Amino acid sequence: MSTVTAEVGRKGDLLRVSLRIDGWGTAAFGVLMLVAGPWLPGPLGLPASWFVPIGIAMLGGAIALGLISGCPVIPARYARVAVAANAALGVALLPVAFAGVLPLTALGVGVVVLGAAWVLTFAALEYTGIRRATA
């Protein structure tokens, strides 16, 4: 099994820190979806039935990111999965924001675009972290 040396104070710091911040941000978003979901369909234009599944999925992703970042030596394949998942989600969110497939409000479009920017930024940071740690 290939690993990425990502121990504190080493070349893998960017990867570990990126995974942790991504995990905490994902958890916060998941909690927001679960707690504020009843009040968000009107302002965002998302169907009310989406908030609980999105919140649960985000909390699951946050747990996975936390577990990966907590490994003493981060397995490269897990880090690559985090990069791929972030990149795929970011690419998928952009058409949702602009294609009119959902009745999003202007605020809803902004939230979806912000979500895409978040995951694409972390895909890039984590990818760079993997490259630095394996260099």
Per-residue pLDDT for 8 more than 50? no
Per-residue pLDDT for 60 more than 50? yes
Give pLDDT, residue 12: 62
Encode pLDDT of 65-104 as tens digits.
Answer: 999 999 999 999 999 999 999 999 999 999 999 999 999 9
Q: Are 110 and 45 in contact (CB under 8 A)?
A: no
pLDDT tier at 133, thresholds 50, 70, 90: confident
- Mean of all residue pLDDT scores within the chain: 92
pLDDT tier at 134, thresholds 50, 70, 90: confident
Residue entry with tokens 């995974």:
19
Give pLDDT, residue 45: 95
What is the chain's alpha carbon radius of gyration, rounded to the nearest angstrom?
A: 16
Q: Are 116 and 96 in contact (CB under 8 A)?
A: no
Q: Which two tokens stand for residue 53?
A: 């599944």
Q: Maximum Cα–Cα distance for the chain, whole Å?
A: 48
Average pLDDT, stretch 39-47?
94
pLDDT top residue among 5 and 38 = 38
Region for 41 from its dihedrals, namely left if φ exceeds 0, alpha if ψ lies in -120 to 50, beta otherwise: alpha
Average pLDDT, stretch 120-134?
94
Residue entry with tokens 């984590």:
126
Give pLDDT, residue 9: 44
Cα 57 from Cα 44, distance rounded (Å):
19
Where along the chain do its domains lie? 10-134
